[in-house]
Chain A
Amino acid sequence: DAGVIQSPRHEVTEMGQEVTLRCKPISGHDYLFWYRQTMMRGLELLIYFNNNVPIDDSGMPEDRFSAKMPNASFSTLKIQPSEPRDSAVYFCASSSGTGGYEKLFFGSGTQLSVL
Chain B
Amino acid sequence: SQKIEQNSEALNIQEGKTATLTCNYTNYSPAYLQWYRQDPGRGPVFLLLIRENEKEKRKERLKVTFDTTLKQSLFHITASQPADSATYLCALDDGGGADGLTFGKGTHLIIQP
Contacts and interface: CB of A to CB of B under 8 A. Distances in A.
A64 interface: no
Contacts, number: 70
Contact of B49 (A48, A103, A107, A109): A103
Given A42-B105, A45-B102, A99 B32 contact: yes
B100 A106 contact: no
B75 to A, nearest CB: 15
A108 B43 contact: yes
B34 interface: yes
Q: Could you say which interface size class chain B belongs to?
A: 20 to 34
Contacts of A105: 46
B43 A99 contact: no
Nearest to A111: B41
A99 B46 contact: no
A99 B102 contact: no
Interface of A: 4, 33, 35, 41-43, 45, 48, 55-56, 91, 93, 98-101, 103-109
